[in-house]
Amino acid sequence: MKPRKPPPEQDDLLRARLIEMIDMRHQLVNLAALIDWDIFEREWLGFFPSHTGRPATPPRLVAGLMYLQHAFALSDEAVVAGWAENPYWQHFCGETFFQHRLPIDASSLTRWRQRIGEEGVEWLLTETIEAGKRAGTVKANDLKRVTVDTTVMEKNIAHPTDSRLYETARRKLVGLAREAGIRLRQNYNRLAPRLAGQVGRYAHARQFKRMRKALRKLKGYTGRVLRDIERQLDKVPEGALKARMVDMIALVNRLLAQKPKDKKKLYSLHEPAVDCLSKGKVHKRYEFGTKVSVATTNRGGFVVGMRALAGNPYDGHTLHEALEQVEILTDQRPEMAFVDRGYRGHGIEHVKVFISGARRGVTRTIAKLLRRRSAIEPMIGHMKNDGRLTRCPLKGTMGDALFAVLCGCGHNIRMILRHLRDVLRQLFWLNSSLFRINKVELTPTRMHQISKLTA
């Protein structure tokens, strides 16, 4: 059922309001006033077509929790638990009185993400851009010049090795057979784990001939269990269990048939859409996840576009989608885009694209802006170290798309909060300067700063 607005809180003589408990100059309080929360109630209303059932959670609460979660790099459980302890977070999410109970179950955030999809989370990113304009973190002219780059968002999987994949596939097949009541001739529960551990020891000792022999044997164990289940699959009644078994059988057949040089290899059984990407890093040659396109303002590094790109496409072929998303989210087409040499052959005509290292048609002003292209690299680093872009815990390609956009929201929220803290610090300096006005002569520069802050 569609969400309903909570009834207005009545005055309670036994409880103090949150505005009486917190410092109203706090950056989260100021940020809550800059965000237009009604936009989520209007735009997310279409995701609830049913008119029956229990009303959904208020959209402001869910949007606030998602902002806080990715601004402070928290899990679903941690952000819900922290909300019950932090009065500033409760005020940010629209509460009037301090609440001692959890607002929602942590699993509700998962259901909300599945319901609103990529379109819904893009509204979260759009509103951070608008809040950045209102706060002065980003100027309107800054949106005309953007920098685009790609990075890798790793998936929450173990490092894929053949021995681990064979053993995991055998263990999953044995578990499904036990659940379906299929009696196997042999399940190898004792032999296979020992052999999988021995493969790693052979590889560490550089005894590769023994390692390959053990791998062939372990692969044979998995194949025997697979064929035994396929012969008895007709005994399983139709239903969800049989569908799960058919899907797992298809994945294991794909795993056993793949070759070392295949392009579309299977790297995880619970995340079959994971890609292997190589960015030329010395410390990490291969990364297993998905490619993410990041678009920021050339000045300031404010995120104006984030999109997950499944299938490891060529960077130049993704520039059109990245610029299209920027135009949709900011409601204006960028005039200039600055990219690295990986975007050669992009074929973009409606936007001036400048590639790093180019000299033809580059003026002194453009060269200065082009040198700022590399400023997107530390912004990506902040999203990975301070945010959650390092590893995506959400499932499937849809989870990658949602998580990438939400990481961009968290980066913008952190930048706005830092800007509001700086403004508050300058106001404190202004107050202290006014107290010392009789002792210190005000210079023209200081007078200009004071007039700018008081405007």
* Position with higher pLDDT, 110 vs 261: 110
- 126 in the same domain as 2: yes
Which residues lie closer than 8 Å to 364 by C-beta, 6 or more apart?
none
* pLDDT tens track for 176-230: 999 999 999 999 999 999 999 999 999 999 999 999 999 999 999 999 999 999 9
- What pLDDT is stored for residue 384 in this prediction? 95
* pLDDT tens track for 269-285: 999 999 999 988 888 89
Give the long-range contacts of residues 195-204, CB within 8 A, separation 24 or more: 195/163, 195/221, 196/163, 196/164, 196/166, 196/167, 199/162, 199/163, 200/161, 200/163
Contact by Cβ (8 Å): 416, 300? no
Domain residues for the domain of 185 are: 162-257
The helix (run of H) or strand (run of E) holding residue 149 is strand 145-155
- 115 in the same domain as 151: no
- 124 in the same domain as 149: no
Average confidence (pLDDT) over 407-426: 93
Percent of the chain predicted with pLDDT > 70: 92
Please check the confidence at residue 444 and state whether its pLDDT lies above 90. Answer: no
Residue 387 lies in a domain: yes
- What pLDDT is stored for residue 438 in this prediction? 46
- What pLDDT is stored for residue 55 in this prediction? 85
Gap between the Cα atoms of 36 and 62, Å rounded: 14
* pLDDT tens track for 85-95: 999 999 999 99
Residue 399 lies in a domain: no
Q: What is the pTM of this model?
A: 0.89
State CA 71 to chain mean position distance: 11
* pLDDT tens track for 145-171: 999 999 999 999 999 999 999 999 999
Please check the confidence at residue 257 and state whether its pLDDT lies above 70. Answer: yes
- What pLDDT is stored for residue 283 in this prediction? 87
- 307 in the same domain as 177: no
Average pLDDT over all residues of the chain:
90
- 377 in the same domain as 243: no
* pLDDT tens track for 40-74: 999 998 898 888 888 888 999 999 999 999 999 99
Residue 200 lies in a domain: yes
* Start-end of H helices in 149-239: 162-180, 191-204, 208-231
**Number of domains, the chain:** 3
Quick one: how many helices (H) and strands (E) in the chain? 16, 7
Gap between the Cα atoms of 18 and 82, Å rounded: 16
| CATH value at residue 311 | 3.30.420
**Distances from the Cα of 226 to the Cαs of 87, 161, 186, in angstroms?**
55, 19, 11
